[in-house]
């Protein structure tokens, strides 16, 4: 099993950071995947074509599953899912009208709103399981490390996929709650696919990993010491689907249809967890033995507003924003 999981790390390198600050673009390095039955749209003329920017990670399994199961068609939508390396490509594509909707982590959307970008959450995405020992994100330390808790990593080097974003924010909050000094942490920016090797090489003391890299790290002997999504913020909502204020004002029926389809897709993924895992090979290069072992996020229908507001507070406390945007500017309720 360990040999197979290590080999799968090469394929897993195709998975990229859950962040709106990633690199790449939908047309350069991304992959456009038509995901709905465009033939029925052409024959019946009843489906509205939309394009949604997503990232090739486990968190977006529900939207792929919803398209596959015909949920979006039932709501009159012919969906094209466009893979991009990160939200740095997705945000401008949505702003310009090239895409109707996009996927991003919530901290990036809070930062964007504070910076004046007219973006608003219309449907929720992944949420922590709330189980510190069984979540899809963990702080991992190498085998034999003296660190057995987050507090033990005070003054240490911790890898995160993007600096000044959701991961270092929640880790710092966790360190504070554990009685340590968050300012003592030296965060090292590093793509998720590079983290396991860098941990094994001793170049960092710990990694802020998400699935499938939690599973891959454990296969190499790494150990979990803290659930950075599960522990610092109750019911943390990590990411969401968004559009522009203009789209919400000019085509509310389209937004309502997308939101309703996403809610049903999230619920379907919740009710059919094995099917949610089974859809992963359709847009990632994960091997089946990794998929079998990894922990999936929760997929709620409704965004946790209290979680969103707490993320905004952490963003203010860590200096990522100048002021907290009003909740009504962040999310359609």
- Asked whether residue 22 carries a pLDDT value surpassing 50, the answer given is no
Full residue range of the structural domain in which residue 153 is found: 137-226
11 close to 286: Cβ distance less than 8 angstroms: yes
How many independent structural domains does the chain possess? 2
The per-residue pLDDT of the chain, averaged, comes to 88
196 close to 217: Cβ distance less than 8 angstroms: yes
pLDDT of residue 20: 33
- Asked whether residue 14 carries a pLDDT value surpassing 90, the answer given is no
pLDDT tens per residue across span 62-93: 999 999 999 999 999 999 999 986 777 898 99
| β-strand partners of 209 | 138
pLDDT of residue 89: 81
One domain for residues 278 and 171: no
List the single range of 23-37, 125-139, 168-182, 277-291 with lowest mean pLDDT. 23-37
Find all residues with CB under 8 Å of 96, minimum gap 6, and list them.
none
Max mean pLDDT among 17-31, 86-100, 214-228 falls in 214-228
Overall size of the chain counted in residues: 333
Q: What angle do CA 220, 224, 228 make, to 5 degrees?
A: 130
| Residue that finishes a domain, picked among 226, 256, 275 | 226
pLDDT tens per residue across span 41-58: 444 568 999 999 998 889
Tell me how many helices (H) and strands (E) the chain has.
Answer: 15, 11
- Asked whether residue 3 carries a pLDDT value surpassing 90, the answer given is no
pLDDT tens per residue across span 98-138: 999 999 999 999 999 999 999 999 999 999 999 999 999 99
Neighbours of 272 (CB within 10 A): 14
pLDDT tens per residue across span 248-285: 999 999 999 999 999 999 999 999 999 999 999 999 88
One domain for residues 75 and 195: no
The pTM of the full predicted model, rounded to 2 decimals, is 0.85
One domain for residues 264 and 119: yes
For the chain, list the strands marked E by DSSP: 31-34, 48-54, 77-83, 101-105, 119-124, 137-141, 157-160, 186-189, 206-210, 223-226, 239-244
pLDDT band at 194 (very low <50, low <70, confident <90, very high): very high
| Residue that finishes a domain, picked among 200, 226, 252 | 226
- DSSP track, 148-186: -SGGGGTT-EEEESSSSSHHHHHHHHHHHHTTS-GGG-E
CATH of the domain at 292: 3.40.190.10
Neighbours of 189 (CB within 10 A): 14
One domain for residues 11 and 149: no
pLDDT of residue 123: 98
pLDDT band at 10 (very low <50, low <70, confident <90, very high): very low
């Amino acid at each position: 099993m360990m040999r197979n999981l290590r080999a799968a790390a090469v394929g897993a390198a195709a998975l990229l950071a859950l962040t709106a600050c990633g690199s790449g673009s939908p047309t350069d390095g991304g992959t456009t995947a038509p995901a709905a039955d465009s033939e029925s749209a052409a024959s019946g003329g009843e489906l509205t074509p939309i394009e949604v920017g997503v990232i090739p990670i486990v968190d977006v399994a529900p939207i792929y599953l919803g398209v596959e199961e015909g949920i979006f068609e039932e709501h009159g939508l012919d969906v094209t899912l466009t893979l991009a390396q990160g939200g740095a490509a997705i945000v401008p594509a949505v702003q310009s009208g090239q895409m109707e909707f996009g996927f991003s982590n919530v901290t990036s959307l809070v930062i964007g709103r504070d910076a004046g970008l007219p973006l608003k959450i219309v449907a929720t995405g992944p949420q922590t399981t709330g189980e510190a020992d069984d979540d899809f994100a963990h702080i991992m330390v190498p085998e034999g490390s003296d660190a057995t808790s987050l507090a033990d990593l005070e003054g240490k080097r911790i890898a995160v996929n993007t600096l000044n974003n959701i991961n270092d924010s929640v880790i710092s909050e966790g360190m504070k709650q554990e009685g340590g000094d968050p300012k003592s942490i030296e965060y090292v920016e590093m793509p998720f696919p590079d983290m396991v090797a860098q941990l094994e090489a001793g170049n960092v003391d710990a990694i802020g990993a998400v699935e499938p890299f939690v599973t891959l790290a454990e296969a190499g002997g790494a150990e979990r010491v803290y659930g950075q999504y599960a522990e610092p913020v109750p019911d943390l909502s990590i990411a969401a689907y968004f559009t522009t204020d203009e789209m919400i004002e000019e085509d509310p029926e389209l937004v309502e249809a997308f939101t309703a389809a996403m809610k049903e897709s999230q619920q379907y993924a919740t009710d059919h967890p094995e099917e949610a895992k089974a859809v992963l090979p359709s847009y990632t290069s994960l091997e089946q033995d990794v998929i079998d072992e990894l922990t999936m996020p929760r997929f709620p229908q409704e965004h946790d507003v209290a979680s969103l507001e707490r993320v905004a507070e952490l963003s203010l406390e860590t200096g990522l924003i100048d002021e907290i945007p009003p909740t009504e500017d962040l999310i359609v309720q």
